[in-house]
Homo-oligomer: A and B are copies of this chain.
Amino acid sequence: MRQFWKLFHSTALTAMVLVILFLSLTTAASVPSDQIFQYIDEHQNEYVERLKDWVAIESDSNDASKRHLVMNMMLLAEERIRKLGGTVEMVDLGMQELPDGNKISLPPAVLGNITKDPKKPTVCFYGHMDVQPAKIEDGWSTEPYTLTEKNGNLYGRGTSDDKGQVLAVLNAIEALQKHELPVNIKILLEGMEEVGSPGLNTLIEQRNSTFFSDVDYIVVTDSSWLSNKPGITYGTRGVGQFFVEVECAKYDLHSGTFGGILHEAMSDLIFLLNTLVDSSGHILIPGIYEAVAPLTEKEKKFYEETEYDPDQIKAKYGIKQFLNKTKEELLMLRSRCPSLSIHGIEGAFSEPGTKTVIPAKVTGKFSIRLAPNMELSVVEKQVTDYLNKKFTERNSPNSIKLTCHRGAKPWLSDTDELQYLAARKAIKRVFGKEADFIRAGGTIPIATQFQDVTRKSIMLLGIGGPDDAAHGQDEKISRNNFIEGTKLYAALLQELAAL
A residues with CB within 8 A of B:
62, 99, 132-133, 138-139, 195-196, 236-237, 239, 241, 248-264, 266-268, 270-271, 273-274, 276-277, 279, 281, 317-324, 330, 333-334, 337-360, 365, 367, 369, 394-399, 405-406, 440-443, 469-474
The answer to whether A321 touches B263, judged by C-beta atoms less than 8 angstroms apart, is yes
The answer to whether A345 touches B343, judged by C-beta atoms less than 8 angstroms apart, is no
Name the residue of chain B whose CB is nearest to the CB of A247.
Answer: B318
Name the residue of chain B whose CB is nearest to the CB of A369.
Answer: B259
User: With A and B bound together, what is the CA distance between A32 and B262 in angstroms?
Assistant: 47
Q: A259-B341, A337-B260, A356-B367 are in contact. Are A252 and B472 (CB under 8 A)?
A: yes
Nearest CB on B from A223, distance (A) = 11
Q: Which of B250, B262, B352, B365 contacts A354 (CB 8 A)?
A: B365
Q: Which of B249, B281, B354 contacts A405 (CB 8 A)?
A: B354
Q: Which of A254, A261, A394 has the largest number of chain B CB atoms within 10 A?
A: A261
User: With A and B bound together, what is the CA distance between A266 and B270 in angstroms?
Assistant: 11
The answer to whether A441 touches B322, judged by C-beta atoms less than 8 angstroms apart, is no
> Which 5 A-B pairs rank lowest in CB-CB distance, beginning with the nearest?
A256-B442, A260-B339, A250-B318, A344-B348, A344-B349
Total copies of this chain within the assembly = 2
Nearest CB on B from A476, distance (A) = 12
User: With A and B bound together, what is the CA distance between A337 and B260 in angstroms?
Assistant: 8
Which chain B positions have C-beta within 8 A of A324?
261
Given contact pairs A270-B342, A356-B471, a sample of 11 additional A-B residue pairs in the complex whose CB atoms are under 8 Å apart? A62-B355, A239-B256, A252-B472, A255-B367, A261-B281, A341-B356, A341-B358, A342-B348, A344-B350, A345-B345, A354-B365
Report 24 cross-chain contacts, Cβ distance below 8 Å, ordered by A residue: A132-B355, A239-B356, A248-B319, A251-B318, A254-B441, A256-B441, A256-B443, A257-B334, A257-B440, A258-B334, A258-B441, A260-B333, A260-B337, A260-B339, A264-B281, A264-B342, A266-B342, A266-B343, A320-B398, A343-B348, A345-B348, A346-B350, A354-B406, A355-B365
The answer to whether B350 touches A261, judged by C-beta atoms less than 8 angstroms apart, is no
Which chain B positions have C-beta within 8 A of A322?
261-262
User: With A and B bound together, what is the CA distance between A33 and B48 in angstroms?
Assistant: 83
Nearest CB on B from A246, distance (A) = 12
Which chain B positions have C-beta within 8 A of A367?
255, 259, 354, 356
Q: A330-B261, A341-B259, A369-B259 are in contact. Are A249 and B355 (CB under 8 A)?
A: no
Which chain B positions have C-beta within 8 A of A359?
343-344
The answer to whether B354 touches A441, judged by C-beta atoms less than 8 angstroms apart, is no
The answer to whether A256 touches B349, judged by C-beta atoms less than 8 angstroms apart, is no
Nearest CB on B from A20, distance (A) = 45
Name the residue of chain B whose CB is nearest to the CB of A351.
Answer: B346
Nearest CB on B from A317, distance (A) = 5
Nearest CB on B from A243, distance (A) = 8
User: With A and B bound together, what is the CA distance between A283 and B488 in angstroms?
Assistant: 61
User: With A and B bound together, what is the CA distance between A255 and B255 in angstroms?
Assistant: 34
Name the residue of chain B whose CB is nearest to the CB of A139.
Answer: B251
Q: A257-B334, A259-B340, A357-B343 are in contact. Are A397 and B99 (CB under 8 A)?
A: no
Name the residue of chain B whose CB is nearest to the CB of A331.
Answer: B261
User: With A and B bound together, what is the CA distance between A424 and B264 in angstroms?
Assistant: 35
